[in-house]
Amino acid sequence: MVGRDPGEAHRVATRLELLFDLTFVVAVAAAAERLHHFLSEGDVAHALVGYLAVFFAIWWAWMTFTWFSSAFDTDDDVYRLTTMVQIAGALVLAAGIPRAFNEGDFSIGTYGWVIMRLALVFQWLRLARTDPARRPGALRFAVGFTLLQIGWVARLYLPTAWLVPAFLVLGVAELVVPVWAERHAPTPWHPHHITERYGLFTIIVLGESVAATAATIQAVLDTGHGDLPLLSLAGAGLVIVFSMWWLYFDQPAHDLLTSLRRAFIWGYGHYLVFGSAAAVGAGLAVAIDYKEHTAHLSAVAVAYATALPVAIFLLTVWVLQVRPRQPRGLVTVTFPVTAVLVLATPFAPAAIYPMAVLLAALVGVTIVTGQP
């Protein structure tokens, strides 16, 4: 195992990477479903804290695999088998999400995390043995992730009052390990490949909004008669998700990854992109519940379940992919202004509809100006 050429032509996601992503469809769906459930029940604090913690585990497990595979995917038998072990770990992680969300019990999720991460440590040790030039950095990754796995398992036995502080400390440490290792010996990740992989995961999380729209249509069909309010809500939801897709993919992003610092900002910043996009689906599902009189929230709170993640998505895409291009004229301010207006829509009647109009208008601005 040695580093791949970061300038390799026609580098695309492999079939094994797509299989790996498929397991995360299950994990993202489980997290979004639990967020939807607790928001509809009116337990907002539990919903937000649980979702942020669970989605961090999902995002970070996916990300550590993705950057490694971009730099060192040999596609030989050992690599394939090790990746399949990681896939098995991801499924265990997904299976533990309901218990983590409902009871704060991360034991099953942690065991899945251990399976995934020990397989990844094996890959780093394999690289250290076969690629002398990258051995120091590979050993830093291996040692750092091994120590953190010990920390995550030890966390399961801490007193309840220490669980959240320990999670925060370990989470920050997880983010620090790649910075520490990459600065010593940078890995040869492929910019085009990385942005394609992130784009594919963006489609996965946007799929939660598509699923919420499909659930709305199904609810209308199940009634046996046309329900215009629900159908119009489904239409507005589709406009929102289509607009988010358009705004994210309007311009290629590989040319923005010009340095290690920018790559870290772009890569880590996608926690907010992915998390907010999946949360929009949960918010739309809460809006459906409200229409059917099963949500235990006020109309304003229901609207914010969609408006807040939409605004976070817009601001994060602006910071990561629009502002670095130094756009001119109207586009310079339209993303943040639209985000602020979206945050104001919950105080308007039928907030989902003005949200959809605002996002469609923002897409229109990018088309007319020819800028992201």
Determine the structural domain holding residue 226 and report its residue range. 191-369
Same domain, 209 and 107: no
304 found inside a domain:
yes
Name the residue with higher pLDDT: 5 or 144: 144
Give this prediction's pTM.
Answer: 0.89
Is residue 160 located within the same domain as residue 213?
no
Same domain for 135 and 268?
A: no
Write the pLDDT tens digit of every residue in 82-115: 999 999 998 998 888 888 887 778 888 889 989 9
For the segment 183-206, what is each residue's pLDDT rounded down to a tens digit?
877 888 888 889 999 999 998 888
pLDDT of residue 198: 93
Do 205 and 122 belong together in one domain? no
How many domains does the structure of the chain reveal?
Answer: 2
Residue at 6 is within a domain: no
User: So what's the pLDDT on residue 227?
Assistant: 64
Residues 14-23 have a mean pLDDT of: 90
What pLDDT does residue 359 have? Answer: 94
pLDDT digits 0-9 by tens, 283-298: 888 888 787 777 788 8
Spatial CB neighbours of 314, under 8 Å, sequence gap ≥ 6: 247, 335, 336, 338, 339, 342, 362
Q: In this predicted structure, what is the pLDDT of residue 219?
A: 64
pLDDT band at 222 (very low <50, low <70, confident <90, very high): low
Residue 95 and residue 244 share a domain = no
Looking at the fold, whether 159 and 298 belong to one and the same domain comes out as no
> What is residue 361's predicted lDDT score, i.e. its pLDDT?
92
